[in-house]
Amino acid sequence: MQRPRQRLVVVGNGMAGMRTVEELLKLDSALYDITVFGAEPHGNYNRILLSPVLAGEKTVDDIMLHTREWYAAHNICLYAGDPVVAIDRRRCVVKAQSGLEVGYDRLLLATGSRPFVIPVPGADLPGVIAFRDIQDVETMLAAARKHRKAVVIGGGLLGLEAANGLMRQGMDVTVVHVMDSLMERQLDRPAAALLRRELEKRGIRVLLNANTAEIVASAEAGEKRVRGLRLKDGTELETDLVVMAVGVRPNIELAKSAGLHCERAIVVDDTLQTLSDPRVYAVGECVQHRKSTFGLVAPIWEQARVAATHLAGHGHRRYVQAATSTKLKVTGIDLFSAGDFVGGDGTEDLIYRDPRRGAYKRLVLKDNRIVGVVLYGDVADGAWYFELMQNRTDVSAFRGRLVFGRAFCRAAS
């Protein structure tokens, strides 16, 4: 006599949610009947690879992780394009936009995040978009075919990838960044300067300390569309497309309305269980764990692994935050950044500069252990440094050669 399967409902057909499902299936494929709701009308794709798609280096098919066939093959019921709008925790039921209701024994929230839209006049104009999903990419590609000029607001990772993509699509692109240095969260000034020089060499215009005051619409009658952008210092930029890449906000409205405890995001414990409801788990960009929220993929993979073990009933794993590293997915620009590259009291710098070859390396040490890495131009040893950093390896034995890479340190030992 076989016991009835439990029901798992996953809200969010994105990378975090589906990775958790994958992990779960690996552990126990027979434990749950799984239902997945997604806002986008696709299977699950690799959001990280949207930049290459925009740059024309990959196609949408290339970046698909799970096709509809895959869901069918694993008896997963997928409702793509039909987002969940309400959770009734008393009845353990979720309600979708279409009115469909599905009950659950376990609920996994993976609602992700949404781009932040800076509240300036004209932010809602046609031709003002974010860079988040396939839809955005298609909008940009379309714009690139029709128009010439684009402005990207935000000189961070995503903004620069967008800028590069649009440039590759033949647009003349200006990056408007509010800070005085690009990617200031990942790069120190020397590296940022090299990056800027490289981007400008490729024809991307970069404006720093540039604060957007207003997005201006075209005056002529008929379809109303963005025409320009005015900065606080009065500078006017003519443009046919504005891409905002100024960060994201976790999607927590649903969780809130369901009465789950949220701060900046849905608060979870070391098992990725929500504080308010043991039946409800959350993973990904919508999660807040010990005061942190998450945007990079590595910690989210780890969350998925942890959540899956608990859903599978072997609750031995704990989620522990680890250092993260960043790479910019812009072909021809190699940069690597990890840990605390700013440094401070008690930290020491190892710096290598070869401007002619566009190479720059900075290792930040504390107590002879790597705590931060910035590599520009030559990132071959990034992974190794990252490993040394995570293992807290004492580097004093080969400190003098560290910057020159693993090969030389091996030669020394």
Partner 1 sequence: MSAAPAAGASMTRLVKTTCPYCGTGCGVDVRLQGGAVEVAGDAEHPTNYGRLCVKGAALAETLVPDGRLLYPQLRETGEGRRETKRVSWDTALDVVSREFQRIIQEHGPDAVAWYVSGQLLTEDYYVANKLVKGFVGTANIDTNSRLCMSSAVAGHKRAFGEDIVPVSYDDLEIADLIVLVGSNTAWCHPILYQRIVKAKERRPQMKIVVIDPRRTATTDAADLHLPLRAGTDVWLFNGLLSFLYQHGVVDTAFVEQHTRGLPRALAIADNTAGSLRAVARQCGIDEAPLAEFYRLFARTEKVVTAFSMGVNQSSAGTDKVNSIINCHLLTGRIGKPGMGPFSITGQPNAMGGREVGGLANMLAAHLDLENSRHRELVQRFWNSPTIAAQPGLKAVELFDAIDQGKVKAVWIMATNPVVSLPDADKVKRALAKCELVVVSDVVQDTDTTAFAHVLLPALAWGEKDGTVTNSERCISRQRPFLPPPGEAKADWWMLAEVGKRWGYAEQFRYSGAHEIFDEHARLTAAGNRESGIVATGIGNRESGIVEEQDAAPSVLRYLNLGGLAGMTRDEYDALSPVRWPVVTPHASRLTPHVFSDGQFYTPDRRARFVPTEPRLPVHARDEDYPLVLNTGRVRDHWHTMTRTGISPRLAAHIDEPYVDMHPQDALLSGVREGALARVTTRWGSLVARVRTSGEMPRRNVFVPIHWNEQYASDARVGSLVNPVVDPVSGEPEFKHTPARVEAFAVLWQGFVLSRAPVPMQGIAWWTRVTGQRFLRYELAGRETVTDWPQLARRMLGVKDAEADWIEYEDRSAGQYRAAWIVDERIQACLFVSPRADLPSRAWLSALFAKQRLEDLDRIGLLVGEPLDREADAGPTVCSCFGVGRNTILDAVRKHGCHSAEALGRKLQCGTNCGSCIPELKNLIATALEPA
Nearer to partner 1, 146 or 357 (CB): 357
Nearer to partner 1, 196 or 329 (CB): 196
Strands 369-376 and 335-339: antiparallel
Work out whether 354 is an interface residue with partner 1 (CB under 8 A).
yes
Nearer to partner 1, 3 or 356 (CB): 356
- 267-270 contacts at long range (C-beta below 8 A, 24 or more positions apart): 270/306, 270/318, 270/319, 270/320
Convert 85-120 to b/e letters by CB count within 10 Å (16 or more is b): eebebeebebebeeeeebebebbbbbbbbbbeeeeb
Instruction: Name which position in 180, 349, 367, 387 contacts partner 1 (CB under 8 A).
Output: 349
Residue 158, phi then psi, degrees to nearest 5: -65, -45
3 state DSSP class of 377: coil
Work out whether 373 is an interface residue with partner 1 (CB under 8 A).
no
Take residue 112 and report the two structure tokens written for it.
């992700």
* Segment interacting with partner 1, rule: CB under 8 A, options 67-75, 241-249, 281-289, 401-409: 401-409
Work out whether 400 is an interface residue with partner 1 (CB under 8 A).
yes
Nearer to partner 1, 42 or 353 (CB): 353
Convert 25-47 to b/e letters by CB count within 10 Å (16 or more is b): beeeeebbbbbbbbbbebbbbbb
3 state DSSP class of 256: helix
Work out whether 384 is an interface residue with partner 1 (CB under 8 A).
no
Work out whether 352 is an interface residue with partner 1 (CB under 8 A).
yes
Instruction: Report CA dihedral (399, 403, 406, 410) to the nearest 10 degrees.
Output: -40
Give me the residues paired with residue 5 across strands: none
H or E element in which residue 228 lies: strand 226-231
Work out whether 398 is an interface residue with partner 1 (CB under 8 A).
no
The minimum distance between CB 352 and partner 1, in angstroms, equals: 5
Q: What is the DSSP string of 72-109?
A: HHTTEEEEET--EEEEETTTTEEEETTS-EEE-SEEEE
Work out whether 201 is an interface residue with partner 1 (CB under 8 A).
no
Work out whether 407 is an interface residue with partner 1 (CB under 8 A).
yes
Amino acid at position 197, single letter: R
Work out whether 351 is an interface residue with partner 1 (CB under 8 A).
yes
Take residue 109 and report the two structure tokens written for it.
């929230």
Instruction: Name which position in 353, 366, 369, 406 contacts partner 1 (CB under 8 A).
Output: 353
The minimum distance between CB 187 and partner 1, in angstroms, equals: 18
* Segment interacting with partner 1, rule: CB under 8 A, options 66-74, 126-134, 313-321, 404-412: 404-412
d(CA 225, CA 128): 9
Work out whether 200 is an interface residue with partner 1 (CB under 8 A).
no
Take residue 148 and report the two structure tokens written for it.
């010439």
Q: Binding to partner 1 (CB under 8 A): which residues in 261-320?
A: none
The minimum distance between CB 410 and partner 1, in angstroms, equals: 10
* Segment interacting with partner 1, rule: CB under 8 A, options 283-291, 311-319, 322-330, 352-360: 352-360
Given a contact cutoff of 8 angstroms between Cβ atoms, the answer to whether 175 and 159 are in contact is yes
CA-nearest of 151, 49, 188, 36 to 100 is 36
Q: Binding to partner 1 (CB under 8 A): which residues in 24-53?
A: none
* Segment interacting with partner 1, rule: CB under 8 A, options 97-105, 225-233, 327-335, 343-351: 343-351
**What ranges in 169-296 are assigned the alpha helix state H?**
189-201, 253-257
The minimum distance between CB 183 and partner 1, in angstroms, equals: 23
The site that binds partner 1 (CB under 8 A) totals a number of residues, namely: 19
Nearer to partner 1, 298 or 407 (CB): 407
Instruction: Name which position in 28, 124, 348, 387 contacts partner 1 (CB under 8 A).
Output: 348
CA-nearest of 170, 173, 189 to 181 is 189
The minimum distance between CB 355 and partner 1, in angstroms, equals: 7
Work out whether 399 is an interface residue with partner 1 (CB under 8 A).
yes
Work out whether 367 is an interface residue with partner 1 (CB under 8 A).
no
Work out whether 401 is an interface residue with partner 1 (CB under 8 A).
yes
Work out whether 342 is an interface residue with partner 1 (CB under 8 A).
no
Binding site for partner 1 (CB under 8 A): 348-357, 399-401, 403-405, 407-408, 411
